[in-house]
Chain A
Amino acid sequence: MNPVTRVLRSTGGLGLVVLVLVASLPLWFIQTNFVLSVATLTLIFMAASLGWNVISGFGGQISFGHSIFFGLGAYTTAILQVHYHLNAYLGVLVGVVVAVALAVLLGAVTLRLRGIYFSLATFALTLVFAILTGHYEGFTGGEVGLTLPLLGDAPGQFSFENKVTFYWIAMILAALAFVVTWLVLRSRLGLQLRAIQADQEAAQASGVLVFRVKLTGLVISAVPGAVAGSVYMQYIGFIDPDSAFGATLATQIAVIAFVGGAGKLWGPVVGAVILVPLQQLLNSSLSAYPAGFNLVVYALVVLVILWIEPRGIMSMRIGRRRPRPPRSAAPPGGPDPEPASPDAEAAVPTSRNGG
């Protein structure tokens, strides 16, 4: 079976509909710059959230600081371009290298610990970066931020007059991030990450090299975030400590995945398609109200979705054919590539333990 049909089979077609909708957005509204910009940002944050899903969604090591990698990607390209006049594409690559190096360091220190320490450390670290970038003004522009030089139409320098180009770049980025997470999910690494999330001791007893698997997961997880940050930087042309390392972005990357379905292949895709446009709409439409009102509405929407289904939208039954006869065979969970065979039901012994 080829990969495409496998994806479609394992996701019940819903994902395809979503993908087509997103892909065709700018074709419907191509004249509206607002929609194009929202669609581009959606894809950029989708990519970062897809990366988050590898270590946090599959591996259960919840990162509340994936903005670290996003911010490092953004600042690295910007600093190299502004201060050292390095080619922007090279800057993207260096950004990835820096993010990976930091992921290794962060993981080496925190991933041996269990429980909430990893989450706390990631959140603390992103705030530390916000302070550091705010402090070293000469280098990072401080609280004012860094602005890229206006280059006009210079494809060789990652600068395009036509903003549709950035839309397609973001689309390719999101698609690549999706393919990476899909490959991880199918691989040994994905299976072992899921096992660690389910029961770390049982995974160890089964020979899973827990630390190494988590570290590998974190490194892979950092890459889409770093590239997303670089592309964001080139697209927006401006970055400051809060939009790179602030608590809002830090939580947003995780919340997108939680709302869509953490650990589900399509979770970050669905989450981003709903939350990023919502956030942009609220920002622009509620700007007349007192500051923070848009965030309150945003938070309410997130809470309602998670109240209806704590495991996220991908776990909702709407529009999914999931028959559940009594004592039935397992319906395949989101990440399971193999659908249950129809004859499995008959094979389930009905005896319960006698006690």
Chain B
Amino acid sequence: MTDTLLRVEGLTVRFGGLVAVNDVNFTVHEGELLGIIGPNGAGKTTMFNAVAGAVRPTSGTIRIGDELVSGRPPERVARLGIARTFQSVRLFKAMTVAENVTLSASTVCPSMAAARARADEVAELLGMQALQPIRVEELPLADQKRVEIARALALRPRLLLLDEMMSGLNQAETRDIIGVIKQLNGDGLTTIVIEHVLRVIMELSHRVLVLDHGVQIAEGPPREVMGDPRVVEAYLGRSAAKNLGEPA
């Protein structure tokens, strides 16, 4: 009953001699929330970049619905309905929140009036109407992350890619963003989340994909994956101290 929205087959990305992503295969169903974890340098962000069109795959295919994504430039991928956030916030800093969100709305709306209306709609959905006239560079990081989500949502995406939203946030702010992600996914938005904080992945994901050195080493429900000896060895073995050391 669940349709496949995203299908990634044999995805490989090489940078010179380095194989950043090696023959990765997975699907994401409509309405699903997929978590991607792995130690630093596992290839998570590279894979994201490939899905978003920012990095051209060396081989393999990526499809959203029936449309081929791989090989298209990022702006076309965005218009096919794949919206993303960046690991380190990349907003148009000197512009207001409203302008940031209106900008991405303007690429899918027929007129500027429609784009402004769309930006207002998104701001209301995320409860950030009051931030609209403020320049992004004057906002605290947590609010900047929300603006990045808003900017992605303005595209009316079919798939939302969230890259390490929680980095740099305190506990209360992390709660807050988790709430936003749950709300959006609850409304039916298919989402892929890359996250370093295991607790967040465990709480959010329907299914988890584990990457290590570009290779997909496990996939399944969060509890199951965490018990997989290969994951414990590859992921927790090396960076357990760092990740389990996060405030619980």
Write out the residue numbers on chain B whose beta carbons fall within 8 Å of the beta carbon of A353.
140-142, 168-170, 173
Q: How long is the Cα–Cα vector from A353 to B176 in the complex, in angstroms?
A: 13
A27: Cβ under 8 A from any B Cβ? no
Q: Which of B73, B133, B142 has the most CB of A within 10 A?
A: B133
1/0 per residue, CB under 8 A from B, across A164-191: the answer is 0000000000000000000000111001
- Cα distance, A204 to B75, chains bound together (Å): 4
Which of chain A's residues have a CB closer than 8 A to the CB of B95?
A: 194-195, 198, 336
Point out the residues of chain B lying under 8 angstroms from A206, CB to CB. Answer: 78, 103-104, 107, 151, 154-155
Contact A191 B91 (CB under 8 A): no
Q: Give Cα distance in the complex from A340 to B132, angstroms.
A: 9
Q: Quick check: A330 and B135 within 8 Å, CB to CB?
A: yes
Residue A210 at the B interface, CB < 8 A? yes
Collect the chain A residues with CB atoms within 8 Å of residue B140's CB. Answer: 349-353
Q: Are B134 and A344 in touch, CB under 8 angstroms?
A: yes
Q: Find out whether the CB atom of A354 lies under 8 angstroms from the CB atom of B171.
A: yes
With an 8 A cutoff between CB atoms, is B242 at the interface? no
Chain B residues whose CB sits within 8 angstroms of the CB of A204 once the complex forms: 54, 73-75, 78
Q: Which residues from chain B contact A195 at a C-beta distance below 8 Å?
A: 92, 95, 103
CA distance A187 to B93 in the complex (A): 19
| Cβ-based interface call for A203 (8 A) | yes
A-contact 0/1 string along B90-122, CB 8 Å cutoff: 111111101100111011100010010000000
Is A67 an interface residue when CB atoms closer than 8 A count as contact?
Answer: no
B56 to chain A, nearest CB (A): 13
Closest to A197 in B: B92
Interface members, chain A 12-52 (any B CB < 8 Å): none
Which of chain B's residues have a CB closer than 8 A to the CB of A203?
75, 92, 103
Cα distance, A209 to B76, chains bound together (Å): 8
Select from chain A the residue with minimum beta-carbon distance to B154: A206
Docked-complex contact A207 and B107, CB < 8 angstroms: yes
- Which A residues are in CB contact (< 8 Å) with B169? 353-355
Closest beta carbon of chain B to A267's beta carbon, Å? 15
Query: Out of B52, B138, B171, which one reaches A329, CB within 8 Å?
Result: B138
Say if the beta carbon of A149 comes within 8 Å of chain B: no
Tell me if A354 and B74 are in contact (CB < 8 A).
Answer: no
Closest to B104 in A: A206
Hey, which chain B residues are within 8 Å of A341, CB to CB? 133
Cβ of B139 within 8 Å of any chain A Cβ, yes or no, is: yes
Complex Cα distance, B57 from A58, in Å, reads 33
* Given known A201-B90, A329-B138, A333-B94, contact A192–B74 (CB-CB < 8 A): no
* A207/B168 in contact, CB under 8 A: no
Q: Place the interface of chain B in its size category.
A: 35 or more
User: Bound state CA distance, A209 and B91, in angstroms?
Assistant: 17
Q: Which residue of A lies closest to B144 (CB)?
A: A353
A288 to chain B: which residues have CB within 8 Å? Answer: none
- Cβ-based interface call for A148 (8 A): no
Bin the interface of chain A by size.
35 or more
Closest Cβ of chain A to B116, distance in Å, is: 10
- Asked if B143 is at the interface (CB within 8 A of a chain A CB), the reply is yes
Nearest-CB distance from A214 to chain B (Å)?
12
Shortest C-beta distance, A348 to chain B (Å), equals 6
In the complex, A205 has a CB within 8 A of chain B? yes
Given the interface pairs A207-B107, A207-B155, A352-B140, the reply to whether A202 lies near B133 with Cβ below 8 Å is no
Whether B151 contacts A198 by the Cβ 8 Å rule is: no
A187 to B113, CA, bound (A): 10
Q: Does B196 contact A (CB under 8 A)?
A: no
Q: Is there a chain A Cβ closer than 8 Å to B1's Cβ? A: no
Asked if B131 CB lies within 8 Å of chain A CBs, one says yes
- Tell me whether A338 is interfacial, beta carbon within 8 Å: yes
A residues in contact with B143, CB < 8 Å? 349
**With contacts A198-B95, A351-B173 known, is A205 near B79, CB below 8 A?**
no
CB-CB under 8 A from B172, the residues of chain A are 354
The CA-CA distance from A328 to B104 in the complex, in Å, is 26
Shortest Cβ distance from residue A200 to the other chain B in the assembled complex, whole angstroms: 10
Q: Does A318 contact B (CB under 8 A)?
A: no
Report yes or no: B133 in contact with A344, Cβ–Cβ below 8 A: yes
Known: A195-B92, A199-B92, A344-B130. A207 touches B108 (CB 8 A): yes
Tell me if B158 is interfacial: C-beta within 8 Å of chain A: no
B84 within 8 Å of A by Cβ? yes
Q: How far is the CA of A351 from the CA of B98 in the complex (A)?
A: 21
Beyond A198-B94, A333-B94, A347-B131, 7 additional contacts (C-beta under 8 Å) are A205-B74, A207-B104, A208-B75, A330-B133, A336-B95, A349-B143, A353-B173
Can you list the 5 inter-chain pairs with the closest CB atoms, starting with the nearest?
A: A354-B170, A330-B135, A207-B107, A347-B130, A206-B104
The 29 sampled A-B contact pairs (Cβ below 8 Å) are A187-B112, A188-B115, A192-B103, A195-B95, A199-B92, A203-B75, A203-B103, A205-B54, A205-B83, A205-B90, A206-B107, A209-B75, A327-B138, A330-B96, A330-B133, A330-B138, A336-B95, A336-B96, A338-B98, A338-B133, A339-B133, A340-B134, A348-B139, A350-B140, A351-B140, A353-B141, A353-B168, A355-B168, A355-B169
